[in-house]
Amino acid sequence: MDGSVRDVAALQARCKEAADFIQDEAERGTEILVAGHNDADGLSSIGIVTGGLLDLGAKFIAKSVFRLEEFIDLMGKRDGGMVILVDMGSGSIHELRKVFGDRKFVIIDHHQPEAEDIGENWIHVNPHLFGIDGESEVSAAGVAYLVMRNITPNPHIYAPIAVVGSLGDLQDRGEKRKLFGLNEEIVSDAVEGRMLKVYEDFILYGRGSKPIHQALASTQSPYLPGLSGEEASCLSLLIEAEIEVRDGDKWRTIADLTEEEKTKLYNAIVSHLVKNNQPTEVVKDLIGTVYELVNEDVSSGLRDAREYAQLLNACGKTNNSWLGVSVAMGYRSWVLEEAQRVMEQYRTILKKSLEFASKNLEQMYNIMVLRVGPEIDVRQVSSIASILSSSKLIPVDKPLIVVGQEAGVVKVSARTSSKLVMVGVNLGTVMREAASKFAGRGGGHKIAAGAEIPADRLTLFLLEVDRLIGEALSRVKTQITLDDND
């Protein structure tokens, strides 16, 4: 599938086919169930699809879920209607087909697919099927946009939300943290529609709305040891760097800084990390491409696309997905105020979770493991994994496996470095193979993946993951030896 010839036109044709399928059912008055993952990309995807359905005047129900099993349990018993599943499903097509049979079904996803041929009345839209990398070039929200822009009369409205989803899935892996591939086409749509502005600057949370020291303390991707979550330390750093934090009675923001002051701030952060024996390469991730939603209010937390993604993620990870979907659909007023409140609470929770995580990492032969207990909500394991993997606390040559238990099921979130991906490590495959051996399910991307397994099989699962990673790395070492002998 990934080895197929890259064919953007064929993907666009599949998107049009899915759009026509959806529009036909909407015009017949069919009730449409839209469901997807509860992270920023999933909620963005649901928002785009339901926004388009609202434009059509369609009857629909929207639901986000933490696990695919939750979706099957909740929706598998419903009769009739169409199902649109976003940001999940590609890796479990055979299982879904057994449950939903011949019901009209559309999968809009970007994870590594299990199969392409899914039968009559089902349409599968996934970039991997057309030789396009769904891990880095386009997210589920991007694919949802490519489908729904064939339906809605104002498609440019949803282009910025697709950008938000891609950033929420950390696809800004181009030079200077830029989106690339199909994401660039979506960015262009948003810019041409006068919905988005793109430029280079500091990438800090609240860069245009929070005081400088709060913006620095609020930044968790990348994670800055001694600064992230520490407002007093950040304020001291600014004072020592002789950067004015106030302009009269008004707190200054990152956006207010001159180029000279930005250089001072950059150097001060580097010096802080050196003094505290922390790796300094993380600082390069603080400067990059800013994606600004120009029609959003500066104080809303939605003007910066990365902050928008964090707000959606907070809603999803705290069982407030309905707020995230509503915001992504375009609702503001009290809905946004409530989402902002959830965001602030989530950041406090996340800070405490990261403090726990940084002190409880375990090391196996080939992987790092973090087991979380009741002190961390199991819905947050993926966020913890993403932030820890960006903090440089995890060796680049060892994938990170974060596990949390809910009832009798263990939720697994895995992350690795681009260095290991380049030499052949594929976490999506590792998670799928290891989970399938222990009555679970797994999959995802090469660099970020997940699994669900019975709690009593966790030790065996971790040993198998460690073995599979070691096997992949040994193949690389063998190849290097062979190449050296040529």
The amino acid occupying position 133 is D
* Residue 448, beta-bridge partner list: 415
> Which band of pLDDT confidence, cut at 50, 70 and 90, is reported for residue 396?
confident
Residue 381, pLDDT score: 85
- Cα–Cα nearest to 158, from 398, 329, 368, 35: 329
DSSP string of 342-402? HHHHHHHHHHHHHHHHHH-EEE-SS-EEEEE-TTS-GGGHHHHHHHHHHTT-S-TTS-EEE
Least confident piece of the model among 63-72, 92-101, 346-355:
346-355
302 by DSSP, 3-state: which?
coil
Region 171-175 average pLDDT:
90
Question: What is the C-alpha to C-alpha distance for residues 203 and 309, in angstroms, rounded to an integer?
Answer: 13
Q: Per-residue pLDDT tens for 450-484?
A: 999 999 999 999 999 999 999 988 876 554 443 44
Asked whether residue 116 carries a pLDDT value surpassing 70, the answer given is no
Q: How are beta strands 105-108 and 82-86 bridged, if at all?
A: parallel
Q: What is the CA radius of gyration of the chain?
A: 22
Structure tokens at 195: 């919905």
Euclidean distance between the first and the last CA atom of the chain, given in angstroms as a whole number: 32
353-357: Cβ within 8 A, 24+ apart: 353/380, 353/384, 354/220, 354/223, 354/228, 354/229, 354/384, 354/387, 354/388, 355/229, 357/384, 357/388, 357/402
C-beta neighbour count of 413 within 10 angstroms = 27
Residue 106, pLDDT score: 96
The amino acid occupying position 233 is S
Region 108-119 average pLDDT:
81
Least confident piece of the model among 67-76, 158-167, 301-310:
67-76
Residue 394, pLDDT score: 74
DSSP summary character for residue 131: T
Q: Is 63 exposed, middle or buried (0-12, 13-18, 19+ CB in 10 A)?
A: middle
Question: What is the C-alpha to C-alpha distance for residues 223 and 163, in angstroms, rounded to an integer?
Answer: 22
- Cα–Cα nearest to 85, from 56, 116, 123, 51: 123
Average pLDDT of the chain?
Answer: 88
- Cα–Cα nearest to 56, from 23, 79, 105, 84: 23
Q: Within a 13 Å sphere around the CA of 432, how many CA atoms are in the beta-carbon half? A: 16
Q: How are beta strands 105-108 and 368-372 bridged, if at all?
A: unpaired
Question: What is the C-alpha to C-alpha distance for residues 30 and 82, in angstroms, rounded to an integer?
Answer: 7
* Contact call for residues 402 and 372 (beta carbons, < 8 A): yes
Structure tokens at 46: 């649901």
Residue 467, pLDDT score: 94
Residue 481, pLDDT score: 45
Region 337-343 average pLDDT:
94
* Contact call for residues 118 and 97 (beta carbons, < 8 A): yes
Asked whether residue 42 carries a pLDDT value surpassing 60, the answer given is yes
Residue 483, pLDDT score: 47
Angstrom distances, CA of residue 60 to CA of 102, 182, 279, 387 = 19, 28, 49, 35
Q: Regarding predicted confidence, which is higher, 188 or 79?
A: 188
Residue 194, pLDDT score: 94
* Contact call for residues 186 and 145 (beta carbons, < 8 A): yes
Q: Regarding predicted confidence, which is higher, 207 or 130?
A: 130
> Which band of pLDDT confidence, cut at 50, 70 and 90, is reported for residue 485?
very low
Structure tokens at 26: 């909407």
Asked whether residue 153 carries a pLDDT value surpassing 90, the answer given is no
The residues near 275 (Cβ < 8 Å, ≥ 6 apart) are: none
- Cα–Cα nearest to 198, from 305, 117, 278: 305
> Which band of pLDDT confidence, cut at 50, 70 and 90, is reported for residue 124?
very high
Region 5-33 average pLDDT:
94
Q: Per-residue pLDDT tens for 424-455?
A: 899 999 999 999 999 998 988 888 899 999 99
> Which band of pLDDT confidence, cut at 50, 70 and 90, is reported for residue 392?
low
Domains observed in the chain: 8-192 (3.90.1640.30), 202-356 (no CATH), 360-485 (3.10.310.40)
* Contact call for residues 174 and 313 (beta carbons, < 8 A): no
Asked whether residue 423 carries a pLDDT value surpassing 90, the answer given is no
Asked whether residue 252 carries a pLDDT value surpassing 80, the answer given is yes
Question: What is the C-alpha to C-alpha distance for residues 248 and 12, in angstroms, rounded to an integer?
Answer: 54
Q: Is 483 exposed, middle or buried (0-12, 13-18, 19+ CB in 10 A)?
A: exposed
Asked whether residue 421 carries a pLDDT value surpassing 70, the answer given is yes
Asked whether residue 87 carries a pLDDT value surpassing 80, the answer given is yes
Question: What is the C-alpha to C-alpha distance for residues 359 and 415, in angstroms, rounded to an integer?
Answer: 18
> Which band of pLDDT confidence, cut at 50, 70 and 90, is reported for residue 117?
low
Q: Look up the pTM and report it.
A: 0.83
Asked whether residue 189 carries a pLDDT value surpassing 60, the answer given is yes
> Which band of pLDDT confidence, cut at 50, 70 and 90, is reported for residue 255?
confident
* Contact call for residues 203 and 290 (beta carbons, < 8 A): yes
DSSP summary character for residue 223: B
Question: What is the C-alpha to C-alpha distance for residues 341 and 335, in angstroms, rounded to an integer?
Answer: 10
> Which band of pLDDT confidence, cut at 50, 70 and 90, is reported for residue 347?
confident
Question: What is the C-alpha to C-alpha distance for residues 219 and 182, in angstroms, rounded to an integer?
Answer: 27
